[in-house]
Structure 1
Amino acid sequence: MTLDIGFLIFPNFQLVDLAGPFDLFAQVPGCRLHLIWKNLEPVRATSGWDLAPTVTLDACPVLDMLCIPGGGGVNALMQDPEILDFVRAQAKTVRYQTSVCTGALVWGAAGLLRGRRATTHWASHHLLAGLGAVPVEERVVVDGNLITGGGATAGIDFALAVVARLKGQEEAEAAQLELEYAPAPPFDAGSPRTAPAAAVERVRRDSARTVAERERIVASLGVAA
Structure 2
Amino acid sequence: MRIQIVLFDGFDLLDAIAPYEVFTAAAMYSDETITVELVSAEGERMVTSGVNHLQIQASSELDLTRKGIILVPGASGSVLDNGPESIPVKLQQATETNLSNLLKEAMMKPEILLSTVCGGSLILAMIGLLEGRHAVTHHMGMGLLSTTNAIPVNARIVDDRNLVTGGAVTSGLDVALYLVERELGPRIAHAVEQLFEYERRGTVWKAEGNIPKENQQENLVEETSHHSYTQSNETENFHGKWDTAISTPIGKLSVLLNLTKIDGQITGTAKQGEDIVTLDNLVLEGNQLKWSMKVSKPMRLNLKFIVSVDGNNMIGEAKAGMLPASKLIGHRIL
TM-score (norm 2): 0.53
Give how far 1:223 is off.
Answer: 5.7
Out of 88, 92, 100, the residue aligned to residue 117 of structure 2 is: 100
- RMSD over aligned Cα atoms: 2.6
Q: Does 2:38 match 1:35?
A: yes
Residue identity matched to 2:156: R
What SS does the corresponding residue of 1:128 show, helix, strand or coil? helix
Higher percent of residues as helix: 1
Q: Aligned partners of 1:182, 1:121: CA distance in 2, in Å? A: 20
Q: Cα distance 1:125–1:161, how it changes in 2: closer, same or farther (>3 A)? A: same
Structure 2 distance, partners of 1:15, 1:39, is 19
Structure having the higher strand fraction is 2
Using the TM superposition, give the Cα deviation of residue 129 of structure 1 relative to its aligned residue in structure 2, in angstroms.
1.3
**Which residue of structure 1 lines up, in the alignment, with residue 60 of structure 2?**
55
| 1:63 Cα offset (Å) | 4.1
Q: Which has the larger radius of gyration?
A: 2
Q: Which residue of 1 is the match for residue 300 of structure 2?
A: 222
Aligned residue pairs: how many? Answer: 193
Q: Does 1:46 find its partner at 2:50?
A: yes
Aligned amino acid, residue 15 of structure 1: L
Which 4+ residue blocks in structure 1 deviate beyond 4 angstroms?
Answer: 216-219
Partners in 1 of 2:199 and 2:166 — Cα distance?
A: 18
Structure 1 position 66, deviation (Å): 0.9
3-state SS of the aligned residue for 1:156? Answer: helix
Q: Deviations over 1:78-112 (max 9, x none)?
A: 3x152111111122224311100000011112322
Are 2:147 and 1:121 equivalent residues in the alignment?
A: no
Residue 182 (structure 1) shift: 4.7
User: Which protein has greater RCO, CA pairs closer than 8 Å, 6+ apart?
Assistant: 1
**Counterpart selection for 2:106 from 90, 95, 100:** 90
Instruction: Please state how far the C-alpha of 1:222 moved relative to its aligned partner.
Output: 2.9
Gaps of 5+ in 1: 185-211
CA contact (8 A) 2:3 2:70 kept: yes
Quick one: distance in 1 between partners of 2:97 and 2:177? 31
> What is the TM-score normalised by the length of structure 1?
0.77
Name the counterpart of 2:24.
26
Aligned to 1:199: none
Q: Distance in 1 between matches of 2:132 and 2:141?
A: 18
- Identity fraction in percent: 25
For structure 2, the 5+ residue unaligned runs are: 28-32, 76-86, 202-247, 254-293, 304-334
Residues 53/89 of structure 1: CA separation in 2 closer, same or farther (3 Å cut): same
Deviation at 1:131, TM superposition (A): 1.7
Q: Any residues of structure 2 matched to 1:1-225 within 5 Å, and which?
A: 3-29=1-27, 30-37=33-40, 38-48=42-52, 49-57=54-62, 61-71=65-75, 72=87, 73-78=90-95, 80=96, 82-93=98-109, 94-182=111-199, 213=249, 219=295, 220=297, 221-222=299-300
Q: Which amino acid aligns with 2:102?
A: F
Matched residue type, 2:147: G
CA distance in 2 between partners of 1:35 and 1:55 (Å): 7
CA drift of 1:224 comes to 6.6
CA distance in 2, matches of 1:97, 1:168: 18
Q: Match of 2:180, SS? A: helix
Match of residue 281 from structure 2: none
